[in-house]
Amino acid sequence: MKYYVDVSAAAGGDGSEKKPFNKIQSAADIAKAGDEVIVAPGIYREAVNPKNAGEEGKPIVYRSTSIKGAHITGAEQVKGWTKVEGTVWTARVSNKIFGDYNPFTTLISGDWFIAYITAHTGDVFLNEKSLYEAQSLEEVKKGEVYAAAWDAEFSTYKWFAEQDEAKNETVFYANFHDFDPNKENVEITVRRNCFYPEAEGIGYITFSGFKVSKAATQWAPPTAYQEGMVGPHWSKGWIIEDCEIYESKCSGISLGKYLQPENDNKWLKTKYKDGTQTERDCICQAQVEGWSKENIGSHIVRRCEIHDCGQTGIVGHLGGVFSIIEDNHIHHINNKQNLAGAEIGGIKMHAAIDVIYRRNHIHHCTRGIWLDWQAQGTRVTQNFFHDNIPPQRPGQNICGEVAEDLFIEVSHGPTLIDNNIFLSPRALKLATQGVAVVHNIIAGSFTAVGRGCNNGAPNRPSNRYTPYHMKHRTEIAGFMTILHGDCKFYNNIFIQQPICTEFAARMLDNAHNDWDDSNFVVGTKPYNNYPTFDEWKNQFEGYCGMGSMTTDRYYSELPVWAEGNLYFNGACPMNKEKAFVDSLHDIQIGFEEKDGKYFLKTNLYDLIADGTIPADSVKCNLLKTEDIPPAFEPEQNYENPDGTPIIFDTDYFGKKRSSSPIAGPFADGKDAKSETLA
């Protein structure tokens, strides 16, 4: 059955092509497995609540007739602005418009949210762009630059709201500067979600080709119900494709956790249990309540542009297992810096079990991808990362967090990172173990090696014990703290970029920081003091088991492997590594954009082609799963989600490598500059 929707149609349609519905919800109330909802271009100001699930092989398909033509928004226009003074205007809105959820009386809150300012779930928008919430009318009038904002100029566009309880109205004040709000598109957030089922278990839905914007979503930590502007709400088999998703207050797409009423933001509410312990409780409770490969996850998010969201582009805990996130363009996430906490990134996912992140272009985010806890069977491959760090302004310190392209935290692996391009000053934050880094260009540093895995208690041990799972399943196999090490670095190209004065100072200031050393030196050098496999194995030689004297052998750092890597411009290998180190040539690395396409900008492959850098120096072994030691704690190989081995014979562009390949992500250096990166 096909149902048709056209916002310009008259009310009372029957969903036929000749008499379409004028709201998507009308179709969402009745569509069943195998049905298709075809939506004409236009602006749909509604929160669509899909009532019925599809079936495996028979999804319910919601499709915009033209890509990004149908626009679902959680916002309503506000007219009738009057001038207060200067460039500041005011308008009133009846609270009846909000129903039972007023975003301008609802504060952002949740575990790991740092409430250093008052922030509401609502926002005010000028021509599709959210203004900055102020703390008072006086602050709106001043219109001063917010130093932490990435877009400093636009941070002077501010709003403030207060309640007139006698009239049951929300009163808005906004500084529009040179714009007349009565001549522009000014909107406020009204709805909490845009396309999101209220019930759990509404699976097998395809959501294709929509533009989605401006929802008043709440902070989404892993110990709480995680909502998004779009999302499957604890179900299986969704496909979200070819969409533009932007200006969610917190998260654009949620593949996340369901509501556990007795364990929802418990750390925030009671303070008695640490957040880490309540998270362990959440995971074990979910296991009992149906979290399994058969019931949850296996979603696909592909070919979407996700941008300008406050917390994350994609968020998830438990609910995103066995998913594929591919060919997306994720950018400008958390650039306003008005939300702060430990749950921010272009993608922030806990328990990314057997999740594949491939061919995504991720840039200008406060952290590109953050894989936190249980990154097991996870693969990050063929992605292009750059500029995932606050802008550097000459003469000014960076006020926001200095983040990185990829952060893997307190996981036991195996986590595979292959055939990527990392161009931000900080490439990988590795407060973790069980990682294999293979055939990448890495022009940023490793940070937090050997750190960041405790809970920060100043006087008592506070190890974070995290779960690992049965292979390619959700069932918990055990819990263990992070020993560090168990990392493998093969066939990568490391290129040092200049370290600015501020970054050099940060390295000195944070040399003994237990969370992050702020290292900006590129290469495997942070693993200098880690044992080789033979050194580690020798601890157990002659060990007879019980009855021997006490030992540290079960709690010492795990071994690290490195082979086939190339180092340029002062990038440093660890001291036990045999590597090619070039100190003679100045290697340029970067990219350029032409007509919306991105190309690598480097002289490295020219120097290889003309023999300046000998070809034999850059060649390496063709790797397979069997060549990489398995992740220690789960005893699991770096393999495909179905358990089959990987042969690393396919490069960044999907082209085949020879039996004697060159290091880095490209099978042929000639392709490096001619093919589009994104």
* AA letter at 550: T
Residue by residue, what is the 3-state secondary structure of 86-113?
A: CCEEEEEEEHHHHCCCCCCCCECCCCCE
- For residue 128, the 8-state DSSP code is T
Q: Is the pLDDT of residue 170 over 70?
A: yes
Q: How far apart are CA 593 and CA 452, in angstroms?
A: 36
Q: Which two tokens stand for residue 132?
A: 């900055």
Q: Which two tokens stand for residue 187?
A: 């909107």
Q: Is the pLDDT of residue 413 over 90?
A: yes
Q: Is the pLDDT of residue 410 over 90?
A: yes
Would you give the distance in Å from CA 45 to the centre of its chain?
27
How confident is the model at residue 543, as a pLDDT? 63
* AA letter at 572: C
If one compares 391 and 426, the residue with the highest pLDDT of the two is 426
Local confidence band at 297 (pLDDT 50, 70, 90 cut-offs): very high
% of the chain residues with pLDDT over 70: 99
Q: How far apart are CA 215 and CA 247, in angstroms?
A: 7
For residue 225, the SS3 value is coil
CA 546 vs CA 549, 558, 620, 655: distances in Å: 9, 22, 44, 53
How confident is the model at residue 57, as a pLDDT? 97
661, 619 contact by CB (below 8 A):
yes
Q: How far apart are CA 338 and CA 146, in angstroms?
A: 9
Q: Is the pLDDT of residue 48 over 90?
A: yes
Local confidence band at 68 (pLDDT 50, 70, 90 cut-offs): very high
In whole angstroms, how large is the CA radius of gyration of the chain?
26
**Size (the chain), residues:** 678
318, 257 contact by CB (below 8 A):
yes
How confident is the model at residue 387, as a pLDDT? 97
How confident is the model at residue 398, as a pLDDT? 77
- For residue 281, the 8-state DSSP code is H
Q: Which two tokens stand for residue 562?
A: 């490195």
Enumerate the β-bridge partners of residue 357.
325, 380
For residue 579, the SS3 value is coil
The string over 77-110, giving b where at least 16 C-beta atoms fall within 10 Å of a residue's C-beta and e elsewhere, is: ebeebeeeeebbbbbebebeebeebbbbebebbb
Residue by residue, what is the 3-state secondary structure of 162-184?
A: EEECCCCEEEEEEECCCCCCCCC
Q: How far apart are CA 346 and CA 327, in angstroms?
A: 14
- For residue 64, the 8-state DSSP code is E
Local confidence band at 673 (pLDDT 50, 70, 90 cut-offs): confident
Laid out side by side, the sheet with 132-133 consists of 82-85, 88-94, 169-175, 158-164, 132-133
Q: Which among 307, 339, 311 is positioned nearest to 250, based on CA atoms? A: 311
Q: Which two tokens stand for residue 534?
A: 């033979």
Question: Taking CA 137 as the corner, what is the angle to CA 166 and CA 86, rounded to the nearest 5 degrees?
Answer: 115
How confident is the model at residue 116, as a pLDDT? 84
Query: In this predicted model, what pLDDT tens digit does every residue of 459-468 receive, in sequence order?
Result: 998 999 999 9
- For residue 7, the 8-state DSSP code is T
Mean pLDDT computed over 205-225: 98
Q: How many helices (H) and strands (E) does the chain have?
A: 9, 46
Q: List the beta strands (DSSP E) in 23-175.
A: 36-39, 42-45, 60-64, 70-73, 75-77, 82-85, 88-94, 124-126, 129-130, 132-133, 158-164, 169-175
Burial class (CB in 10 A: 0-12, 13-18, 19+), 543: exposed
Q: Which two tokens stand for residue 77?
A: 């226009």
Mean pLDDT computed over 577-596: 95
Q: What is the mean pLDDT of the chain?
A: 96
CA 417 vs CA 88, 147, 428: distances in Å: 50, 34, 10
Local confidence band at 401 (pLDDT 50, 70, 90 cut-offs): confident
Q: Which two tokens stand for residue 607?
A: 């120097």
331, 366 contact by CB (below 8 A):
no
Q: How far apart are CA 154 and CA 161, in angstroms?
A: 19
How confident is the model at residue 550, as a pLDDT? 75
Enumerate the β-bridge partners of residue 436.
416, 488
Virtual torsion, Cα 419, 421, 425, 428, nearest 10 deg: -30
Residue with tokens 């990050």: 380
Local confidence band at 271 (pLDDT 50, 70, 90 cut-offs): confident
Mean pLDDT computed over 566-583: 96
For residue 508, the SS3 value is helix
Mean pLDDT computed over 123-130: 98
Enumerate the β-bridge partners of residue 662.
619
CA 319 vs CA 231, 286, 380: distances in Å: 10, 10, 18
- List the single range of 70-79, 395-404, 496-505 with lowest mean pLDDT: 395-404
Cis peptide before 414 (omega within 30 of 0): yes
Local confidence band at 393 (pLDDT 50, 70, 90 cut-offs): confident
Would you give the distance in Å from CA 674 to the centre of its chain?
29
Q: How far apart are CA 202 and CA 219, in angstroms?
A: 22
- Which residues 6+ apart lie within 8 Å of 81 measured at CB? 89, 90, 91, 174, 181, 182, 186
Task: Please report the DSSP string for 582-644 in residue order.
Answer: E-S----EEEEEETTEEEEEESHHHHHHTTSS-HHHHB-PPPBGGGSPPBTTTTB-SB-TTS-
Laid out side by side, the sheet with 124-126 consists of 75-77, 186-189, 124-126, 129-130
Local confidence band at 180 (pLDDT 50, 70, 90 cut-offs): very high
Local confidence band at 402 (pLDDT 50, 70, 90 cut-offs): confident
Query: In this predicted model, what pLDDT tens digit does every residue of 525-567 receive, in sequence order?
Result: 999 999 999 999 998 887 666 655 678 889 999 999 999 999 9
Mean pLDDT computed over 650-670: 95
Mean pLDDT computed over 213-236: 98
Query: In this predicted model, what pLDDT tens digit does every residue of 86-109 receive, in sequence order?
Result: 999 999 999 999 999 999 999 999
